[in-house]
Amino acid sequence: MATWIFYILGAVAVVATAMAVTRRNPVHSVIYLVNSFFALAMIFYLLGAPLVAAWEVIIYAGAIMVLFLFIIMMLELSPGEEADRQGPGALQWLPVLLLGAALLTCTLLLLQLDPAAGQAVPNWYASPRDFGYVLFHEYALAVEIVSFQLLFAAVGAFYVGRAASREKQPGGQQ
Amino acid sequence: MIVPFQHLLILACILFLLGLMTVLVRRNLIMILIGVEIMLNAAGLVLVGASALWQQLDGQVMVIFLMALTSAEVSISLAMVVYLNRRKKTIDVRAFDELRG
């Protein structure tokens, strides 16, 4: 049963991502991508990672994609002057599709060669308790480094936004 | 769930290639960032799958760090997009070719 759910969710993820990639309106593609992330979150749950599944929904679909939506609305792109309203033509798609097909073929061949790839993923479940133990005991230093990285990102984003507003009014208060 | 690890890798590979094609083809800065998101998610799928295959939690921990990295990357790059849009009134990557040799 779970195996069939995995294949259905995988198909949903691939189709939703393909739709997201080919939409001309960025808002539509963000909504399709949220759909794809929900499917991926359920696959994570099936793979025994309930906490990662919840964070996929909360962080990716809830925070990052909503941030994308905010920025798209903030930029006030009118439909007439949208960056690629005609969308990329066949001339742009052809080499990229060829490259993608070549890479996919090579990957499939490699997977055929590798005996370990045929192993079945077993039934397994990692409780949030075990997860938290490993995260804060074995990876405590990495958690600190990542928190610093988030701080630097916040400062960087603040600086970029501030530099832009200072440029607009040069005599303004610092 | 009993599923061959191979199929998981194929799914992640397809998603990664879709993201890569988005980055290569689209000229809208926001769509390029969305392509990067798709690629990072495919990498996360491989990590969670490997975590389940070997029944070790390290893969899931890596996915959490990947999410933190992604949110940092997205916040800075979207701030850059807003800044570039203020400078040139467009988010078409063809407008930002001053460094062209």
Query: In this complex, is the C-beta atom of B36 within 8 Å of any C-beta atom belonging to chain A?
Result: no
| Higher local confidence (pLDDT), A153 or A167 | A153
Q: Is the pLDDT of residue B42 over 70?
A: yes
**Ordered domains of chain B (ranges, CATH):** 7-89 (1.10.287.3510)
| A42-46, A165-169, B82-86, B88-92: the lowest-pLDDT one | A165-169
Query: In this complex, is the C-beta atom of B66 within 8 Å of any C-beta atom belonging to chain A?
Result: no
Query: In this complex, is the C-beta atom of A148 within 8 Å of any C-beta atom belonging to chain B?
Result: no
Q: Quick one: average pLDDT of A144-165?
A: 86
This prediction has a pTM of 0.87
Residues in chain B: 101
ipTM of this predicted structure: 0.90
Kindly indicate the confidence band of residue A165, based on its pLDDT and cuts at 50, 70 and 90.
low
Write down the pLDDT at residue A168. 55
Q: How far apart are CA A85 and CA A83, in angstroms?
A: 6
Contact A108, B39 (CB under 8 A): no
| Higher local confidence (pLDDT), B88 or A148 | A148
Residue B2: burial class (beta carbons within 10 Å; 0-12, 13-18, 19+): exposed
- Of B6, B57, B70, Cβ closest to residue A134: B57
Site from A112, A160, A167 to mutate, B interface, most B CB atoms within 10 angstroms: A160
Using alpha carbons, select from A78, A58, A1, A2 the residue that is nearest to residue B64. Answer: A58
Q: For residue range A8-37, what is the model confidence (pLDDT) as tens digits? A: 999 999 999 999 988 888 889 999 999 999
- Of B20, B35, B83, Cβ closest to residue A100: B20
Characterize B31-41 residue by residue with b for buried, 16 or more Cβ atoms within 10 angstroms of its Cβ, and e for exposed: bbbbbbbbbbb
Which amino acid makes up residue A44?
F
Q: How far apart are CA A115 and CA B27, in angstroms?
A: 40
Query: In this complex, is the C-beta atom of A61 within 8 Å of any C-beta atom belonging to chain B?
Result: no
Give the list of residues 6+ apart from residue A9 with CB closer than 8 angstroms, or none: A39, A40, A42, A43, A46
In angstroms, what separates the C-alpha of B101 from chain A's closest C-alpha?
22
Q: How far apart are CA B36 and CA A47, in angstroms?
A: 24
In angstroms, what separates the C-alpha of A164 from chain B's closest C-alpha?
6
Residue B3 belongs to what H/E stretch? strand B3-4
Instruction: Extract the tokens encoding A87.
Output: 């969308």
Q: How far is CA A113 from CA A117, B6, B52, in A?
A: 9, 11, 22
Contact assignment for A71 to B48 by CB distance below 8 Å? no
Q: For residue range A36-76, what is the model confidence (pLDDT) as tens digits? A: 999 999 999 999 899 999 999 999 989 999 999 999 888 87
Contact A117, B9 (CB under 8 A): yes
Q: For residue range A105-145, what is the model confidence (pLDDT) as tens digits? A: 998 888 888 777 677 887 888 888 988 999 999 999 999 99
